[in-house]
Chain A
Amino acid sequence: KQEVTQIPAALSVPEGENLVLNCSFTDSAIYNLQWFRQDPGKGLTSLLLIQSSQREQTSGRLNASLDKSSGRSTLYIAASQPGDSATYLCAVLGGTSYGKLTFGQGTILTVHP
């Protein structure tokens, strides 16, 4: 059974800092990995999708890497801003392109001015 763990559980940083969020998964037989952002009481917004054959993906100030063999992914946020404050969720898709996602518990990020 796939298990996804995110570290740290919470992170508070001053504006402008670069930061790294970590995600690990127990079963390396994944189809892809997706990072989401969730604002309080809201839905899930997709940030980055990394296919199992890829090593990283970039979108603006966000960069996500994937090391499938070691069961790890990192989300790098450059020059953090107060608007980045949210919960960041990592989710892995097992086996097939239309399987179920297994989520981590999330990292709660607070960026203070």
Chain B
Amino acid sequence: GEDVEQSLFLSVREGDSSVINCTYTDSSSTYLYWYKQEPGAGLQLLTYIFSNMDMKQDQRLTVLLNKKDKHLSLRIADTQTGDSAIYFCAESRSNAGNMLTFGGGTRLMVKP
């Protein structure tokens, strides 16, 4: 079955770059997503990447995909205190009706 794993916790200083990593096992993944969840809130879609892409950049966010190693990362440049949240990696497969398989989430703490 499919499995998505993330490290539990990351702490950075304001202004530094943050890199959140994710590994997955299902080679038939079609899309890979990053969602952000602030305390007491729902999941906010940050960005996603199609499985035939290596990289996607959107303002401060850079997503890197290594399909061979089944490794996905999210880099946040110039991290701000407002970036403090839990970040969930998720994968979906087109042959599974777009069902999402989530990682356990990485809690990002940004110190002033």
Whether both chains belong to one complex is answered with no
Interface on B for A, CB 8 Å cutoff?
Answer: none
